[in-house]
Amino acid sequence: MRNEPKVVAITGASSGIGEATARRLAADGHRLLLGARRVERLEALTEEIGAAGGTAAFRRLDVTDAGDVRGFVAAAGERYGRVDVVVNNAGVMPLSPLDALEVEEWDRTIDVNVRGVLYGIAAALPVMRAQGAGHIVNIASVGAYEVSPTAAVYCATKFAVRAISEGLRQESGGGVRVTLVSPGVTESELADGISDPVARDAMKAYRAVALPASAVADAIAYAVSQPPEVDVNELVVRPVASAR
């Protein structure tokens, strides 16, 4: 298995899976551009990676803005000369029953979880086509395979990411690799955004057994490290003790 240094752009890199992935890929020798809205966290993470001998830079990023995402991917190419991997990791999870009618939360979930991934693909594909190679890694969830009460909209967005990833794989013609990583319950800040009290309490119990974010980062690193002729398409990563 080869592990040649690559240029990797990661969205949602300020915490959770994105932050852990940045640490893991930097330790593997890859050169990173980190994106998120919380610039102070990105700055601290970039300094930490640099102090450990890694290579990373950061840029403020709003994945709901197509132009901002294009600028983010372009900045990776301008800084490092190419873009080998884009990890579309940014996501939100504001759960609530449908009859709570949290329409603004629905819109936000769709904007970040679906449009954000599509904007990442739209920004990366032309660059990777021009290079003749590239790798798009989309982060979904076990919610891409099942639906739970209060999670209908969230799961719908993750079903969409799964469908988009499979469509992209079929259309790529082998020039661009596509990986879908679907974590089970993982330590992160996603649950902090749940405003509905019933859903929030249910999620506390659901998250009693959780993976460390580093376990998902390891799965991403595995897919990225494969030789050019190997395309790891789907990885589902769950805690051993989890029923879901």
Active-site positions? 154
- Confirm if 1 and 226 have CB atoms less than 8 A apart: yes
- Residues in the chain, overall count: 244
Coil/strand/helix, residue 177:
strand
Give me the amino acid identity at 50. Answer: G
Rounded to whole angstroms, the Cα distance separating 224 from 234 reads 12
Rounded to whole angstroms, the Cα distance separating 79 from 59 reads 12
The token pair at 238 is 């769950």
The residue written with tokens 């079929």 in the block is 170
The radius of gyration computed from the CA coordinates of the chain, to the nearest angstrom, equals: 17
